[in-house]
Amino acid sequence: MKKRYSGPQIVAKLREADVLIGQGKTVAEVCREIEISQQTYYRWRQKYGGMSPEMIKELKGLQKENTRLRRVIADQALDMAILKEINSKNS
């Protein structure tokens, strides 16, 4: 069984699950057929339900940008703290 799926793969599996549930299968049967656990199904449904593959790509891009910006802010805060310390020693 595969450990990691990409965003578009998750959306495809969720759409396949919707079709199978629409055919009258239970969630347990569907999860067995698409080879994921029920816990994974519900977690994916909560996180990715109703998303298109394009939206997932955009979400991943925004998450990367957010991480980068947090690093920049942390670096700036560190630089400011160092400058304040140097300034207080000089006074």
pLDDT of residue 1: 52
What DSSP string runs through 20-82?
A: HHHTT--HHHHHHHTT--HHHHHHHHHHHTT--HHHHHHHHHHHHHHHHHHHHHHHHHHHHHH
Please report, in tens digits, the pLDDT of each residue of the chain (91 residues total).
Answer: 557 888 888 988 999 999 999 999 999 999 999 999 999 999 999 988 878 878 888 888 999 999 999 999 999 999 999 999 999 888 7
Among the listed residues 19, 17, 35, the one whose alpha carbon sits nearest the alpha carbon of residue 27: 17
Domain ranges of the chain: 1-51, 52-91
In sign, the C-alpha dihedral spanning 55, 45, 65, 84 is positive
- What is the maximum alpha-carbon separation in the chain? 77
Instruction: Report the top-level CATH class of 1-51.
Output: mainly alpha
Report field, pTM of the whole predicted structure over 0.75: no
Give pLDDT, residue 52. Answer: 81
